[in-house]
Amino acid sequence: MEFGELLKAFLQDLQAIFRRQITFQGLTLSQLLILSSIPDTGIDMSSLAKVAGVDNSTMTRLAATMIKKGWIIKIRDDMDRRSYLIYLTKHGETLQLEIENRIDKFGEAVATQLPVEEREEMKEVLSSFHWTLSKLIMKKH
């Protein structure tokens, strides 16, 4: 398999696993990623769109749905009145915690499939891979 094909297969497998094992209560994969990316201090819509890998108009639509479901709230930014900050509601915090628990459980399940002596090395390889992807994302912006 070529490197690009491996990346595509990796993405497809992760998406399938996240949809089956991590999502719950009708959460979409996009909503799951957004909920898991909102810090306690809130985040502006544009930054959240970048984290979610969507454009601003798509983020606005996703946020509207999540506001209706009572998972997030949108508050005008005091520092920049043109923008809005997104915060989790209590219900959103509960969902975020459940998402984190499910992701941790999935991570442990993957780790147990590896020989003990390879686990740290795999974490280092994945961390390096993540850093490489982050640098590519930063170059695009």
pTM of the predicted protein model: 0.86
Domain annotation covers residue 9: no
Domain annotation covers residue 109: yes
Q: Which CATH number fits the domain that encloses residue 108?
A: 1.10.10.10
Domain annotation covers residue 24: yes
Number of domains in the chain: 1
pLDDT in tens, the chain (141 residues): 899 999 999 999 999 999 999 999 889 999 999 999 999 999 999 999 988 889 999 999 999 999 999 999 999 988 888 889 999 999 999 999 999 999 999 999 999 999 999 999 999 999 999 999 888 877 875
Domain annotation covers residue 6: no
Q: Where are the beta strands (DSSP E) in 22-140?
A: 43-44, 72-76, 84-88
Give phi and psi for 58, each to the nearest 5. Answer: -65, -40
pLDDT of residue 141: 59
The label of the residue with tokens 């809005």 reads 84
pLDDT of residue 103: 95
